[in-house]
Structure 1
Amino acid sequence: MTGTERSTGGSAASWDPAVYLRFASERARPFTELVARVGAENPGVVLDLGCGEGSGTAALARRWPGARVIGVDSSPEMLAAAERAAAGVEFVVGDVRDWAPDGPVDLVVSNAVLHWIPGHDRLLAGWAGWLRPGGWLAVQVPGNFRAPTHAVLADLCRSPAWADRLAEVAPSPDAVLEPAGYLDVLTGAGLAADVWETTYLHVLTGTDPVLGWVRSTVLRPVLARLGDDDAARLTADYAAALRTAYPVRPDGTTVLPFRRIFAVGTRPT
């Protein structure tokens, strides 16, 4: 996934590349800024774990044209789009929680994937173990799980009207670590680490644009549990709450603050 809030294989809901790419430029920026911190010069094997619709994987192949670039994702819909977007790249259907390469690698990239995986600190340490000396690991996760987009939805999922069906898929405020936690994971795995965070102010337009943003991310597994009528009812309540939390500005735009956490590590030679 590129800036994907993408799948690992644990959800029954299918991914729609067209919906996800509605905000392609906003979602691409964190990936670009993540990979800009990677100092690999001539990597032999590059992995994009949770590659989604493949635009980021294609960018990796352009930056390192001599590398064997492999994109891994569990969504057939996303991989179909990826194969069109990134010629010359290998794509593999797999769940990043248990997929493994056939040998040591030079670069592992995972953009907006790990927040879907409870206990992903252990997974991240395992990925670090794949690196050759001089190899790089670069990950980005959303850091907005206490923001209204997620807190309001969590409250709805746990409310009396929905708890019996949705409580277990309510967004968790602790889905990701704080930046210091990722620093500890990478240094504990023997890497020299660079960890930082950024809050983007996305200026959105149109009707209920924040709802449009979350349809392809945090709302997707929730709606997958409901029939059409119930999904419409919950979506209407959620949209109303989002309009209050993210009001339209006088110029007709809506600002969505979005915090992201970045962690890059390299194995010393």
Structure 2
Amino acid sequence: MKLEVVSVGDWDSALYMKFEHERTRAAIDLLAQVPDMDPKIVYDLGCGPGNSATLLKRRFPRASVIGVDNSDNMLQVARQRVVDADFIKEDIESWRPREETDLVFANASLHFVPEHYDLMVRLVSCLRDGGCLAVQMPNNMQEDSHALMRMVAADGPWADRLVPVAKSQAIIGPLDEYYRLLAPICSSLDIWQTTYIHPVDGPDRIVEWFEGAELQPFLKPLCPAEKEAFLARYRDALSQAYAPQPNGKFLLRYPRLFFVAQK
């Protein structure tokens, strides 16, 4: 079935899915650490275009998989590609299941919630005994790719609009903070970090990667001409920060924080 992929002013599923293999790799690694279980209900928070819901249905074919996202664009694509799952539009910051659940899976979503520490505690409270909260969060705010976004935001005619955006970005805490937060309320807690290295074809591909996700809050307040100028400055900064390899590839470092907390 051919998917209708569009961009309607929120998340851009077309750009997001250009790097679907790389984005889904972390979801695969997270799901691999979820213990064997026979869940009745699985929630996929920040489900995006359905790539993680596909994995969840494959792993738990008897479970009801429910994807939650606040992007009409992403939900439209997810409903087309995973017809045996359900999808609802809701902000994960305020979301709560109607009853205790078996598995809450959150791949690259909770870090967008500024108060995600409180959210994690609340999500664990929504689990049945033996249920799991499985989380992956990009931990790349200190990488050149993200530091340069903030630098360009602060150095241009758009600074008054974009500096508050940069300051509002959620910061991922140290590993030990999440451990201290969750260990007292869980029967087991597996926590780790992986740095993925993605060879890409130059700064243009790095721009494309983040234009479908992390760059969106910076671009949304800008007019078309300003967006073009912002992306040009960001692209130039990337070309200075990343050295090409002998084969012409640029190595994009992408650290990701994982944990599987069992109640």
TM-score by length of 1: 0.91
How far residue 206 of structure 1 moved from its aligned partner, in angstroms, is 5.5
2:80 paired with 1:84:
yes
How large is the Cα RMSD of the aligned pairs? 1.6
Contact 1:17 1:53 in 2 (8 A): yes
2:130 paired with 1:134:
yes
1:255 to 1:172, Cα distance in 2 relative to 1, 3 A: farther
Q: How many residues align?
A: 256
Q: What's 1:102 paired with?
A: 98
Render the CA deviation track for 1:178-215: whole Å, top value 9, x for unaligned. Answer: 22122122213334111000001101125621111111
Q: What's 1:261 paired with?
A: 257
**Runs of 5+ consecutive residues of structure 2 not aligned to the other structure:** 1-7
Q: What's 1:218 paired with?
A: 214
Of 179, 191, 197, the match for 1:201: 197
2:29 paired with 1:42:
no
| Equivalent runs, 1:22-41 vs 2, <5 Å | 22-41=18-37
1:13 to 1:114, Cα distance in 2 relative to 1, 3 A: farther
Contact 1:150 1:171 in 2 (8 A): no
**Runs of 5+ consecutive residues of structure 1 not aligned to the other structure:** 1-11
Q: What's 2:53 paired with?
A: 57
Partners of 2:167 and 2:195 lie apart in 1 by 20
Q: What's 1:93 paired with?
A: 89
Partners of 1:195 and 1:95 lie apart in 2 by 25
1:159 to 1:179, Cα distance in 2 relative to 1, 3 A: same
Contact 1:40 1:136 in 2 (8 A): no
Partners of 2:20 and 2:156 lie apart in 1 by 36
Partners of 2:240 and 2:225 lie apart in 1 by 23
Contact 2:186 2:261 in 1 (8 A): no
Of 160, 163, 166, the match for 2:159: 163
| Equivalent runs, 1:109-188 vs 2, <5 Å | 109-159=105-155, 161-170=157-166, 175-188=171-184
How far residue 51 of structure 1 moved from its aligned partner, in angstroms, is 0.3
Does 148-157 or 207-216 show the bigger shift?
A: 207-216
2:21 paired with 1:17:
no
2:74 paired with 1:70:
no
Does 137-146 or 158-167 show the bigger shift?
A: 158-167
SS in 2 for 1:208: helix
Q: 1:264 is aligned with what amino acid? A: V
Does 213-222 or 132-141 show the bigger shift?
A: 213-222
Render the CA deviation track for 1:82-121: whole Å, top value 9, x for unaligned. Answer: 0111121111111001111110000000010112111200
How far residue 158 of structure 1 moved from its aligned partner, in angstroms, is 2.1
Of 238, 242, 245, the match for 2:238: 242
Contact 1:13 1:221 in 2 (8 A): no
Contact 1:171 1:218 in 2 (8 A): no
Does 156-165 or 70-79 show the bigger shift?
A: 156-165
How far residue 162 of structure 1 moved from its aligned partner, in angstroms, is 2.7
Partners of 2:27 and 2:187 lie apart in 1 by 21
